[in-house]
Structure 1
Amino acid sequence: MPEPLIRPARPDDEAALARLDRESWSPLHEVRPEPPAPDEPFFHPTCGPDAHLVAEHDGRVVGYVRLGHPTGMPTNAHVLQIRGLAVAEEARGKGTGRVLVRAAVEEARRRGARRITLRVLGPNTVARTLYASEGFVVEGVLPGEFHVGGRYVDDVLMGRSLL
């Protein structure tokens, strides 16, 4: 699979993104106890298309990354956070996640952020390895922060400077 096209999300991507969210749900990376319901909206007033970059291959949505501020405080406005990343099964292991992470870093820079952070579940070693290979470092661990899939798992905080 050639490198996907990365573009800003559009309102008409909602159905494809919602489907991707349902199909990619797993307790390995999601703290929700079950997948989103089929009628659950993907976009929300505080997290609309402008918060998402989409990976597209042959006109089909195969991934997304969601960016937002970790808090609403003005003193934290210089930081953006990866608040979600999903890749369709057929696009996994082909560089789509890496391209999305790089696009998120560049978008954060474009928006004037000085730092980019994320949270990832401890057992999600594939994602943690990807983030580390893109310059993110572990900045903290909240042991046993979530009870997911019948076990307690760590919440790993990672970040990197954009300067």
Structure 2
Amino acid sequence: MPAISMPPVRPAGFPDEAALGELDRAGWSTLHAVQPRPLPPYAPFFDDRHRPEDFLVAEAPDAAGAVRIAGYTRLVPPSPLACNAHVRQIQGLAVADWARGRGLARALLRAAFAAARQDGANRMTLRVLGHNAPARALYESEGFVVEGVLPGEFFLNGRYADDVLMGRRLAP
């Protein structure tokens, strides 16, 4: 059986800011977002805490055949502590509705694993809302396990939502 081809993933840059902001706003949902829906005037996508070098982007052709940014993930150290330097945390993963079902989220995760390993990390963590079954299934299929649950941590759309902590080792 031939190997599965993964979509291209690359580091983000300042020229990607408008496309990433648009993607982020278009995909906003209480399925995964704990912040209120963004409203104009929109804040910049990149800022002091969300730098281009923290993001990986996936590109794919749209319905018209134009290659554009179709997804992103944000990968950062979970804290500035030296004793925590071996860990990287995914703090955001998004794929445009028009690009779903092409393996982009999986490609972004695998690129994040490789980038974290290259940066010396041996562990990856993330947080996901308990009711986000599609994301949880994806993360589990990529080796993440539930390591903790903060029950009712968020109140979204009139309901309490669990904050699920997941992690995995990064094998060399």
Q: Structure 1 length as normaliser, TM-score?
A: 0.95
What displacement does 1:32 show? 0.6
2:131 aligned with 1:126: no
Q: 1:29 aligns with which of 24, 32, 44?
A: 32
SS of 1:140 mapped into structure 2: strand
CA distance in 1, matches of 2:128, 2:36: 16
Cα deviation, 1:57-90, whole Å, max 9, x if unaligned, reads: 1330000000011112111111000000010001
Correspondence for 1:49: 52
Paired with 1:156 and 1:39, the residues of 2 have a C-alpha distance of 29
Unaligned runs of 5+ in 2: 62-66
Please list every run of 5 or more consecutive structure 1 residues that lacks an aligned counterpart in the other structure: none
Q: Distance in 1 between matches of 2:80 and 2:35?
A: 22
Could you tell me which of 76, 80, 84 is aligned with 1:76? Answer: 84
Aligned to 1:147: 155
Shift >2 Å, 4+ stretches:
35-39
Contact 1:54-1:64 within 8 A present in 2 as well: yes
AA at the equivalent of 1:45: D
Q: In structure 1, what is the Cα distance between the partners aligned to 2:7 and 2:60?
A: 5
Structure 1: how far apart are the matches of 2:40 and 2:110? 30
Deviation at residue 141 of structure 1 after TM alignment: 0.3
How far apart, in 2, do the equivalents of 1:45 and 1:74 lie? 20
- Give the C-alpha shift of residue 148 in structure 1: 1.1
Distance apart, 1:46 and its partner CA: 2.5
1-side partners of 2:39 and 2:10: how far apart? 24
Alignment of 1:39 with 2:47, yes or no, is no
Considering only aligned residues, what root-mean-square deviation do their CA atoms show, in Å? 1.3
Larger Rg: 2
Is structure 2 residue 71 aligned with structure 1 residue 63?
yes
